Structure 1
């Protein structure tokens, strides 16, 4: 039976209004430790659902426990695999249930879990001395949301089902952090088919296994393709006829793209052009581009390439409206916590290895959100869009990176003497402070109180198509200097600033610790 068939997805009809499968009830929880304490905790949580924690797996280093289960909860693997297992099993909470575990190992596990954007709870050390039965009320929390100084914003409404249910949905970049979460949440709303496109077959294999519990690789749900390949993209759209498209495929690492601007153009701009063209030709109903706050008044190749992708979507949205066909829009948001290569994962690895934490500048700030928030916004945009909008989430106040590091260190019980911060200076293309809207863009309210929009933002050329032709020729020839010139021509005001050295500091901790 194909994983795309409705019969293969009985949970789709029981999905919660927030867009997440209602099974299991409570927060998805990994229990660290399959010994007596961990086993007692699993039993306690299973029989006491009011604690709000639903065990979905146990981690233990004993090879004899591999493939076994604790009261029906499977032992998934060793402690060293915490981060990937937390991502694979969509864990929301990790509980450390090994009394007497060395402090250093507790700290390493806490940082590994927090790096995946997962809340950490642990059994107080006095339990080891008292040797009494474990109970759920003995848990204390490490709240990742406290790192960013605001509560997580859940933006998915039940109305999203009307856009997804019974339709053929294509997600590009499906193997990435945002793309994979999009696939999970889209799947929960019961599409008639979910096509997951990526150029990395290993990521697709893991994603299918995660969503359907098996990965036979014998159906149409997995699509291996490169969005740079125009004939291949056209073939996919002709054959699969997607009705809703979420475009998450992109190059995203700013410093690398500064060194390789032609690659940024090929993927982020030309790839988007190919997808939009194919979507128009085959009558796609809704097309949503995943963008970034770096597209607002861009100073980097990454930001410029994503702003051009937005302009391509906006230009074609006008054509689609005139033809009475599909609705094309974009979603712009800031840094995502818990994604591969995100700040938290890098920070956790640096702390775990005992090396210094590197920050570009003591005053650098960024906007942060969780993956769930980001995907919620994307789904809401798909529902609310009328064509041509760039949607932006109200992400609260920007967060100083140095403050985030301090908050992280405190929550994993590190003192000031245990955290060395080294400032490296802003790299070429990096801003000290990001903005969500360009100076020429108007901030418009939407029906959702935490989502704003801007339409037909300024900064685009009159002859976008002509300018893109020259840009694509330069990128195909890998003439990076010409690519930069073409970007500047297409986006008046765009200029990549030089690297900014860190100022002299009297203390490595400007505001104390």
Structure 2
């Protein structure tokens, strides 16, 4: 027990003794009869111990020196009533209140509650009233908080309470007219977000904290632009997705990232639906060392699977995701396997030994130019690897098999997209009436994945440029990794077998605009301080991506961001013949011959 807590306990005991003694004095008009006093002394240890025990149980002594909230006040009242109730019941049942006046305990209840509350608030009142006159004078950072809602108030409270931050909240800005010119937590709401540049100058603001986790993409872009005009540093609190992973605090405030400016409204999930098919199940995630596979493993771990099996051929990223899962969830039954999805013998051993209920197949090669140069590896990993895992899922009767696919599988012009489309077609060859339900989830680019455009741009900006963009008109769909995985898991929950789900990627983003915005977020001016160079489209690359084939169309599900593609019937024999021919010919490394075989299924392939 630390010194502060010992002091708090000693003061608590002193107040308990003082309160009951004064209550007796008031009850007997300051003349306590000896026999009554003797009985009080006899039972005093019980009275004090009961109060201490009840208050300790309700965490009264936790965070003793932190700020006092309404919850603290209610907790004091609740603890006082419960402890007094226990004391009076005990005295009645054991002693029949012999020489123990009930009215004195009622007085004690009121007096003790008031005194304990005064004790609870006094450290904060003292600090706020006299703290600034004590000790060394420290220059405090002047902070303006954007958003006077609950998130902004939480940040303001912590800044006020924590002297080690050396910061003070000068005020809030908020676009709710009812809040402007009012005071919240004693802090003025100075104006609206439009006035940020003026307020920052007039009030000598050192840093702006954006505390609106529900802000739309357009709102966030407008606020960031105003912060730039103010020419002071600005940071942001986590969005809803990040807040779910940990408590909101000053320590979670971070720099504004490009993901914040491309943000979308929070996803409304049916967590019970996801939990129903993951809880107490053996879940296998292939490609768990990758960006998507790793996030799938992280999110699946929250639903208490019976055993989470993470599989990847790359040991280093698998090591990191294993460490994360072990440190973040102590009770997780985790199995880590280094292996190749193309290794039939090892995969068979895995299925036979662990008998997975759910398989989420995320293992795939994804880099378009690299797969153009290595078509054999794309075929073996993306097609044959999928075939191995799908066949074993069927053989060992797993409940659900979920294939992670890509928008590059739609009208593909490159090897990578073509292999993913053929993998989709192979999954469609399984009948819908099997015990194993086969589901495909297709989506576009995810922000910040390994080797994607955003980390590349960050590295180029860090090195002083230039930032390379393939074409001024190239566009891509983007979604954050956590959002994509949330929707994948939700789609898995509603899938009955045979569906190809599409995730709503929103509006496509111009890569040029993305590059320009990232340069500005790094406090540089595009084309002046950091140049942008156009390198031309790479082999197999398209100007834009699609989520649907022309003949597919889609229908809406009950979830706003999940759609089902209306698929056309396929010829199973043609699909299987093409796959067999590809596996046979891929070793020849004859790209022209390989593409000719693929065109039997993929006429758009160049």
TM range (shorter): 0.5 to 0.7
The CA deviation at 1:472 is: 0.8
Please say if 1:309 is aligned against 2:423.
yes
> Are 1:473 and 2:584 counterparts?
yes
Q: Structure 1 residues 264 and 155, CA, compared in 2 at 3 Å: closer, same or farther? A: farther
Find the residue that maps to 1:169 and give its secondary structure. Answer: strand
Q: Name the structure 2 match of 1:5.
A: none
- The change in CA–CA distance for 1:440 and 1:196 in structure 2 (over 3 A counts) is same
Q: Where do residues 282-293 of structure 1 align in structure 2 (5 Å cutoff)? A: 282-293=396-407
Deviation at 1:243, TM superposition (A): 0.3
TM-score, structure 1 length as denominator? Answer: 0.68
Of 441-450 and 186-195, more deviation after overlay is shown by 441-450
* Aligned counterparts of 2:156 and 2:369: Cα–Cα separation in 1: 42
Structure 2 contact 429–572 (Cα < 8 Å) conserved:
no
Please state how far the C-alpha of 1:345 moved relative to its aligned partner. 0.2
Structure 1 residues 450 and 470, CA, compared in 2 at 3 Å: closer, same or farther?
A: same
Moved over 6 A (4+): 36-39, 52-55, 124-127, 458-461
Aligned to 2:170: none
CA separation of 1:164 and 1:258: change in aligned 2, threshold 3 A = same
Q: 1:436 aligns with which of 537, 543, 547?
A: 547
> What whole-Å deviation, never above 9, does each CA across 1:272-312 have from its counterpart, x for those lacking one?
00000000000110111111000011111111100111111
Over 3 Å counting, the alpha-carbon distance change for 1:155 and 1:441 in structure 2 is farther
Q: 1:140 to 1:371 in 2, by over 3 A?
A: closer
RMSD, aligned CA: 3.6
Pick from 154, 167, 175: which aligns with 2:267? 154
| 1:296 matched residue in structure 2 | 410
Number of the residue aligned with 2:345? 231
Q: Which residue of the partner structure matches residue 278 of structure 2?
A: 164
Asked if structure 2 preserves the Cα contact closer than 8 Å seen for 1:266 and 1:476, the reply is no
Secondary structure, aligned partner of 2:600: helix
Q: CA, structure 1 residues 423+126, in 2 after alignment: closer, same or farther (shift >3 Å)?
A: closer
Tell me how far apart the structure 1 counterparts of residues 452 and 140 of structure 2 sit (CA, whole Å): 30
Distance 2:594 2:494 in 1: 35
SS at match of 1:322: coil
Aligned 1:92-491 pairs, distance under 5 A? 142-148=256-262, 150-154=263-267, 156-158=269-271, 159-213=273-327, 221-316=335-430, 318=431, 321-323=432-434, 325-416=435-526, 417-457=528-568, 462-491=573-602
User: Partners of 2:157 and 2:408 in 1: how far apart?
Assistant: 37
Aligned length: 381
Does the aligned pair in 2 maintain the 1:389–1:454 contact within 8 Å? yes
1:482–1:161 Cα change, 3 Å? same
Separation in structure 1 between the aligned mates of residue 315 and residue 329 of structure 2, nearest angstrom: 12
Q: The residue matched to 1:358 in structure 2 has which SS?
A: strand
Deviation at 1:463, TM superposition (A): 2.1
- Please, what TM-score do these two structures have when normalized by structure 2? 0.58
What does residue 19 of structure 2 align with? Answer: none
Q: Name the residue aligned to 1:65.
A: none
The 8 Å contact of residues 168 and 195 in structure 1, kept in 2 or not, is answered as: yes
C-alpha distance in structure 2 between counterparts of 1:449 and 1:394, whole Å: 8
Are 1:444 and 1:453, in contact at CA under 8 Å, matched by a contact in 2? yes
Distance 2:318 2:391 in 1: 25
Q: Distance in 1 between matches of 2:516 and 2:418?
A: 32
Gaps of 5+ in 2: 1-137, 144-151, 166-206, 208-220, 234-248
SS in 2 for 1:418: coil
Contact kept in structure 1, 2:501 and 2:565, CA below 8 Å: yes
**Greater RCO, 1 or 2 (C-alpha within 8 Å, sep 6+):** 1
Provide Cα deviations, 1:177-202, integer angstroms capped at 9, x if missing partner: 11111111000000000000011222
C-alpha spacing 1:152/1:223, structure 2 compared with 1 (3 Å):
farther
Query: Per-residue CA shift, 1:302-330, capped at 9, x if unaligned?
Result: 111001111111211x2xx333x011111
> For the structure 1 residues 153 and 261, does the alpha-carbon distance in structure 2 shift closer, same or farther, using more than 3 Å as the test?
farther
Distance (Å, rounded) in 1 between the aligned partners of 2:541 and 2:139: 48
Query: What is the deviation of 1:457?
Result: 4.1
Give secondary structure in 1 for the equivalent of 2:553.
coil
SS in 2 for 1:257: helix
Q: 1:352 to 1:462 in 2, by over 3 A?
A: same
What is the deviation of 1:353? 0.4
**Does the Cα contact within 8 Å between 2:418 and 2:605 map onto a contact in 1?**
no
1:395 aligned counterpart, secondary structure: coil
Counterpart in 2 of 1:76? none
Distance 1:235 1:249, change over 3 A: same
- Deviation readout 1:44-103 (Å, 9 max, x if unpaired): xxxx99229999xxxxxxxxxxxxxx99xxxxxxxxxxxxxxxxxxxxxxxxxxxxxxxx
5+ residue gaps, structure 1: 1-35, 42-47, 56-69, 72-105, 107-118, 128-134, 497-513
**C-alpha separation in 1, matches of 2:564 and 2:328:** 39
Question: Relative to 1, partners in 2 of residues 1:463 and 1:226: Cα closer, same or farther, differing over 3 Å?
Answer: same
* 8 A contact 1:336–1:370 mirrored in 2: yes
Within the alignment, does 1:50 sit opposite 2:50 as a pair? no
